[in-house]
């Protein structure tokens, strides 16, 4: 079943078009990567799904509900930000619970969701620390934990590995794949990095100059690129 459906979505900033006529259906539990060069519109597309940017025309449906006019908190999706966006004055526990601030939940439920997420992310021993006492990788887990506690229909990631060093990038990539296996949630992941796309995606959506150039499995886009652009960007060297 399709969890997230975009139909003929377009957007401009002022007179400048940045997304043109994008249509896409993302299945429940699917790991979809938006891949394209810098400026192709990946972040804008993701932010429209999250509700952080308005949609000029077209429709967005999440979990069967039309969402163009819904505020971010009511869409059932959770964004994990590139720059972590965690608060230095809050403990790990408080930072994770912050994801639930707008939802009316009993304290016991909040505590239990934070504990569950901390166990999944293996940061249970760090719950009373503050971000300054954490490594970059641990901070990023806190940011992911803040999304997990919301129990969203879909996780949205915008270049989550770009601030990490090479070794941590590989390790975190593997952990994200494991997280997807474990939660079986729908995930949309934005990157300009072909290796990340090839290793993580069930399907890759290749964006080029405001439009979808090709949608396919990693093998399909690699073996059967539809254009010279896709071939040079991800295709087989032959």
Residue with Cβ nearer Mg ion (44 or 95): 44
Choose the one of Mg ion, ligand ADP, none that binds residue 40, judging by a C-beta under 5 to 8 angstroms depending on kind.
ligand ADP
Q: H/E element holding 3? A: strand 2-13
Closest listed residue to residue 9, CA positions, set 189, 203, 210, 158: 210
Region near Mg ion per CB under 5 A, out of 2-10, 38-46, 165-173, 201-209: 38-46
In whole angstroms, the minimum distance from the beta carbon of 44 to ligand ADP comes to 3
Point out which residues bind ligand ADP (CB under 6 A): 13, 18, 36, 38-44
Sign of CA dihedral 12, 17, 23, 29: negative
In whole angstroms, the minimum distance from the beta carbon of 83 to ligand ADP comes to 14
Residue with Cβ nearer ligand ADP (20 or 94): 20
In whole angstroms, the minimum distance from the beta carbon of 42 to Mg ion comes to 5
Q: How far, rounded to the nearest angstrom, does the alpha carbon of residue 65 sit from its chain's CA centroid?
A: 20
Choose the one of ligand ADP, Mg ion, none that binds residue 13, judging by a C-beta under 5 to 8 angstroms depending on kind.
ligand ADP
Count of alpha carbons within 13 angstroms of residue 171, beta-carbon side: 11
Count of alpha carbons within 13 angstroms of residue 28, beta-carbon side: 9
Residue 191 near Mg ion by CB under 5 A: no
Extended beta strands in 14-71, E state: 16-27, 31-35, 57-62, 65-66
Crossing angle for the helix pair 107-121 and 166-183, nearest 10 degrees?
130
In whole angstroms, the minimum distance from the beta carbon of 19 to ligand ADP comes to 8
Q: Quick check: 44 and 19 in contact, CB under 8 A?
A: yes
Choose the one of ligand ADP, Mg ion, none that binds residue 36, judging by a C-beta under 5 to 8 angstroms depending on kind.
ligand ADP
Choose the one of Mg ion, ligand ADP, none that binds residue 113, judging by a C-beta under 5 to 8 angstroms depending on kind.
none
Region near Mg ion per CB under 5 A, out of 42-50, 68-76, 180-188, 219-227: 42-50
Choose the one of Mg ion, ligand ADP, none that binds residue 140, judging by a C-beta under 5 to 8 angstroms depending on kind.
none
Residue with Cβ nearer ligand ADP (83 or 104): 83
Which residue in this structure is represented by tokens 């072909």?
A: 194
In whole angstroms, the minimum distance from the beta carbon of 58 to Mg ion comes to 20
Residue with Cβ nearer Mg ion (43 or 95): 43
CA distances from 148 to 79, 110, 154, 221 (A): 10, 12, 10, 31
Sign of CA dihedral 70, 73, 76, 79: positive
In whole angstroms, the minimum distance from the beta carbon of 207 to ligand ADP comes to 7
The full length of the chain comes to: 238
Residues making contact with Mg ion (CB under 5 A): 43
């Amino acid at each position: 079943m399709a969890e997230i459906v975009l139909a003929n979505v377009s957007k401009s900033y002022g007179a400048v078009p940045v997304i043109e006529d994008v249509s896409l259906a993302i299945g429940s539990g699917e790991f979809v990567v938006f891949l394209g060069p810098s400026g192709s519109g990946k972040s804008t597309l993701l932010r429209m799904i999250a509700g952080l940017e308005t949609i000029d025309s077209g429709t967005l449906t999440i979990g069967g509900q039309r969402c163009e006019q819904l505020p971010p908190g009511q869409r059932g999706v959770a964004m994990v930000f590139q720059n972590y966006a965690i608060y230095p004055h809050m403990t790990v526990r408080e930072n994770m619970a912050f994801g639930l601030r707008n939802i009316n939940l009993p304290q016991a439920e909040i505590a239990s969701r934070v504990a569950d997420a901390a166990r999944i992310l293996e940061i249970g021993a760090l719950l009373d620390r503050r971000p300054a006492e954490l490594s970059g990788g641990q901070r990023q887990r806190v940011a992911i934990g803040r999304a997990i506690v919301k129990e969203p229909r879909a996780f949205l990631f915008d270049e989550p590995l770009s601030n990490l060093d090479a070794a941590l990038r590989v390790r975190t990539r593997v952990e994200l794949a494991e997280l997807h296996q474990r939660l079986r949630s729908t995930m949309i992941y934005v990157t300009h990095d072909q290796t990340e796309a090839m290793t993580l995606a069930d399907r890759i959506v290749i964006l080029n100059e405001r439009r979808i150039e090709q949608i396919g499995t990693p093998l399909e886009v690699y073996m059967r690129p539809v254009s010279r652009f896709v071939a040079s960007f991800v295709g087989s060297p032959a």
